[in-house]
Amino acid sequence: MSTRLATGGRLLNTDIPVSFTFNGKTLKGYAGDTLASALLANDQMLVGRSFKYHRPRGIVASGVEEPNALVNLGTEGTFEPNQRATTTELFDGLRATSQNHWPSLEFDVGAINAKLSRFMPAGFYYKMFIHPRPLWKHVYEPFIRQAAGLGQAPKARDADRYEHFYAFCDVLVVGGGIAGLTAAKAAAASGAEVILLEQTAHWGGRAPVDGGHVDGAPVDKVVDELVSELSDMSNVTLRLRTMGAGVYDHGYVLGYERLRDHAPAQDGPRHRLWRIRARHTITATGALERPLSFAGNDIPGVMLASAVRDYVVDYGVSVGDRTVVVTNNDDAYRSALALKQAGLDVPVILDARVPAFDSPLIEQAKAAGIRILMGHGVAKVLGGKRVTGVAVCAQAGEGAVLEEIACDAVAMSGGWSPVVHLWSHCGGKLHWDNDFAMFRPDVDKAPTGADGSPFVSPAGSANGHFGLAEIIGDAHAKGRSAAQAAGFASSKRNAPDGESVTEAPMAPVWLMPQGAGIALRSKAWLDYQNDVKVSDVQLAAQEGFESVEHAKRYTTLGMATDQGKLSNINGLAILSDALDQPIPQTGTTTFRPPYTPISMGAIAGEASRELFQPIRRTPLHDWHTANGADFEPVGQWQRPYAYVRSGESVHDAVMRETKNVRDNLGLLDASTLGKIVVKGPDAGRFLDMLYTNMMSTLKPGKCRYGLMCGENGFLIDDGVVARIDEDTFLCHTTTGGAENIHGHMEEWLQTEWWDWKVYVANVTEQYAQIAVVGPNARAALEALGGMDVSKEALGFMEWADGTLGGFDARVYRISFSGELSYEIAVKASEGQAFWDALLVVGETLGVMPYGTEALHILRAEKGFIMIGDETDGTVIPQDLGLHWALSKKKEDYLGKRAHLRSHMADPTRWQLVGLETTDGSTLPDGAYAVAEGHNDNGQRNVQGRVTSTYHSPNLNKGIAMGLVLNGPDRMGEMLEFPGTDGKIYAARIVNPVFYDPEGDKQNV
Amino acid sequence: MLILTCPCCGQTGEETEFHAGGEAHLKRYGPGSSDIEFEGYMFMRENPKGVHFERWRHVYGCGKWFHAARCTMTLEVFGTYPAQTLSPPQELRDKISEKRPGWSWRDFA
pLDDT of residue A187 exceeding 80? yes
Closest residue in B to A453 (Cα–Cα): B76
Do the chains contact at A747 and B65, CB–CB below 8 Å? yes
B71-83 pLDDT, tens digit each: 999 999 999 999 9
Cα–Cα distance, A252 to A250 (Å, whole number): 6
Closest residue in A to B76 (Cα–Cα): A450
Residues A395 and A426 in one domain: no
Cα–Cα distance, A807 to A829 (Å, whole number): 11
CATH value at residue A977: 2.40.30.110
Question: A600-617 b/e with 16+ CB inside 10 Å = b?
Answer: ebbbbbeeeeeeeeeebb
pLDDT of residue A711 exceeding 70? yes
The one-letter amino acid code at A961 reads M
Interface test with B, best of A751, A752, A890 (most B CBs within 10 A): A751
Residues A403 and A309 in one domain: yes
Query: Tell me, what's the pLDDT at A904?
Result: 95
**3 state SS of A917:** strand
| Domain assignment of residue A941, given as a range | 907-990
Q: How confident is the model at residue A492 (pLDDT cuts 50, 70, 90)?
A: confident
Q: Count of alpha carbons within 13 Å of A520, Cβ hemisphere only?
A: 23
Neighbours of A932 (CB within 10 A): 7
Residues A935 and A801 in one domain: no
Interface test with A, best of B27, B28, B54, B85 (most A CBs within 10 A): B28
pLDDT of residue A623 exceeding 80? yes
pLDDT of residue A766 exceeding 80? yes
Q: How confident is the model at residue A119 (pLDDT cuts 50, 70, 90)?
A: low
Instruction: Tell me how many domains chain A contains.
Output: 5
Beta strand extents in A828-890 (DSSP E only): 847-849
A336-392 pLDDT, tens digit each: 999 999 999 999 999 999 988 999 999 999 999 999 999 999 999 999 999 999 999
A172-181, A506-515, A605-614, A858-867: least confident range: A605-614
Query: Tell me, what's the pLDDT at B80?
Result: 98
Residues 736-765 of A with CB under 8 A from B: 743, 746-747, 750-752, 754
Ramachandran sector of residue A93 (left: φ over 0; alpha: ψ -120 to 50; beta: rest): left
Please give the order of strands across the beta sheet that includes A715-725.
A703-709, A715-725, A728-733, A674-679, A759-762
Asked if A403 reaches chain B (Cβ–Cβ under 8 Å), the answer is: no
B1 → closest Cβ in A252, A427, A892: A252
Do the chains contact at B3 and A452, CB–CB below 8 Å? no
Residues A726 and A772 in one domain: yes
Residues A60 and A81 in one domain: yes
**3 state SS of A867:** coil
Cα–Cα distance, A74 to A81 (Å, whole number): 9
Mean predicted confidence (pLDDT) in A762-772 = 98
Asked if residue A570 lies in contact with residue A524, where contact means CB atoms within 8 angstroms, the answer is: no
* Contact residues on chain B for A449, CB-CB shorter than 8 A: 76
Closest residue in A to B66 (Cα–Cα): A751
Domain locations along chain B: 3-99
Residues A275 and A405 in one domain: no
Asked whether residue A564 is assigned to any structural domain, the reply reads no
Residues A718 and A829 in one domain: yes
Query: Tell me, what's the pLDDT at A145?
Result: 60
Query: Tell me, what's the pLDDT at A559?
Result: 87
Question: Mean pLDDT of all residues in chain B?
Answer: 96
Picking from A822, A807, A800, the residue whose alpha carbon sits closest to that of residue A1002 is: A822
Query: Tell me, what's the pLDDT at A133?
Result: 67
B31 → closest Cβ in A743, A750, A897: A897
The one-letter amino acid code at A114 reads A
Cα–Cα distance, A595 to A65 (Å, whole number): 10
Picking from A437, A954, A898, A294, the residue whose alpha carbon sits closest to that of residue A660 is: A954
Query: Tell me, what's the pLDDT at A106?
Result: 73
Asked if A807 reaches chain B (Cβ–Cβ under 8 Å), the answer is: no
pLDDT of residue A144 exceeding 70? no
- Last residue within a domain, chosen from A414, A433, A457: A414
Residues A384 and A441 in one domain: no
pLDDT of residue A149 exceeding 70? no
Do the chains contact at B59 and A251, CB–CB below 8 Å? no
- Last residue within a domain, chosen from A463, A485, A507: A485
Backbone angles phi, psi at A589, to 5 degrees: -75, 170
Asked whether residue A491 is assigned to any structural domain, the reply reads no
A546-598 pLDDT, tens digit each: 899 999 999 989 888 888 999 999 999 999 999 999 999 998 889 999 999 99
Asked whether residue A535 is assigned to any structural domain, the reply reads no
Residues 416-435 of A with CB under 8 A from B: 427
Do the chains contact at A750 and B65, CB–CB below 8 Å? yes
Closest residue in A to B75 (Cα–Cα): A450
pLDDT of residue A311 exceeding 70? yes
**3 state SS of A568:** helix
Residues 230-269 of A with CB under 8 A from B: 248-252
pLDDT of residue A539 exceeding 90? yes
Closest residue in A to B83 (Cα–Cα): A751
Beta carbons within 8 Å of A182's beta carbon, 6+ residues apart: A226, A459, A460, A471, A472, A475, A476, A479, A495, A496
Q: Count of alpha carbons within 13 Å of A505, Cβ hemisphere only?
A: 10
**3 state SS of A834:** helix
* A764 CA to centre of own chain: 34
Q: Which helix (H) or strand (E) holds B42?
A: helix B35-42
Distance from CA of A568 to the nearest CA of B (A): 27
Gap between the terminal Cα atoms of chain A: 95
Asked if residue A669 lies in contact with residue A735, where contact means CB atoms within 8 angstroms, the answer is: no
The one-letter amino acid code at A648 reads E
- CA-atom Rg of chain B in angstroms: 14
* Contact residues on chain A for B76, CB-CB shorter than 8 A: 448-452
pLDDT of residue A53 exceeding 90? no
CB pairs under 8 A between A and B: 68
Query: Tell me, what's the pLDDT at A672?
Result: 98
Please report, rounded to a whole number, the percentage of residues in chain A having pLDDT higher than 70. Answer: 96
Q: How confident is the model at residue A51 (pLDDT cuts 50, 70, 90)?
A: confident
Asked if A356 reaches chain B (Cβ–Cβ under 8 Å), the answer is: no
pLDDT of residue A48 exceeding 90? no
The one-letter amino acid code at A151 reads G
Complex ipTM? 0.97
Query: Tell me, what's the pLDDT at A102?
Result: 63
Query: Tell me, what's the pLDDT at A1?
Result: 86
Asked if residue A200 lies in contact with residue A63, where contact means CB atoms within 8 angstroms, the answer is: yes
Picking from A257, A255, A317, A329, the residue whose alpha carbon sits closest to that of residue A287 is: A329
Gap between the terminal Cα atoms of chain B: 28
Cα separation values, B65 from A145, A559, B9, B15, B83, Å: 49, 43, 11, 14, 6
- Last residue within a domain, chosen from A470, A485, A500: A485
Cα–Cα distance, A262 to A201 (Å, whole number): 9
Query: Tell me, what's the pLDDT at B84?
Result: 96
A250 → closest Cβ in B3, B28, B99: B3
* Contact residues on chain A for B1, CB-CB shorter than 8 A: 248-250, 252
Asked if residue A597 lies in contact with residue A608, where contact means CB atoms within 8 angstroms, the answer is: no
Cα–Cα distance, B64 to B43 (Å, whole number): 24
A451 → closest Cβ in B21, B76, B84: B76
Distance from CA of B4 to the nearest CA of A (A): 8
Asked whether residue A586 is assigned to any structural domain, the reply reads no
Query: Tell me, what's the pLDDT at A153?
Result: 85
Residues A827 and A974 in one domain: no
A794-829 pLDDT, tens digit each: 999 999 999 999 999 999 999 999 999 999 999 999
* Contact residues on chain A for B38, CB-CB shorter than 8 A: 897-898, 901
Asked whether residue A516 is assigned to any structural domain, the reply reads no
A392-440 pLDDT, tens digit each: 999 999 999 999 999 999 999 999 999 999 999 999 999 999 999 999 9
CATH class of B3-99: alpha beta
Beta carbons within 8 Å of A224's beta carbon, 6+ residues apart: none
Mean predicted confidence (pLDDT) in A936-956 = 96
Question: Mean pLDDT of all residues in chain A?
Answer: 94
Interface test with B, best of A754, A897, A901, A902 (most B CBs within 10 A): A897
Asked if residue A884 lies in contact with residue A833, where contact means CB atoms within 8 angstroms, the answer is: no
Residues A172 and A146 in one domain: no
CATH value at residue A360: 3.50.50.60
Residues A465 and A367 in one domain: no
Residues A63 and A91 in one domain: yes
Backbone angles phi, psi at A945, to 5 degrees: -150, 155
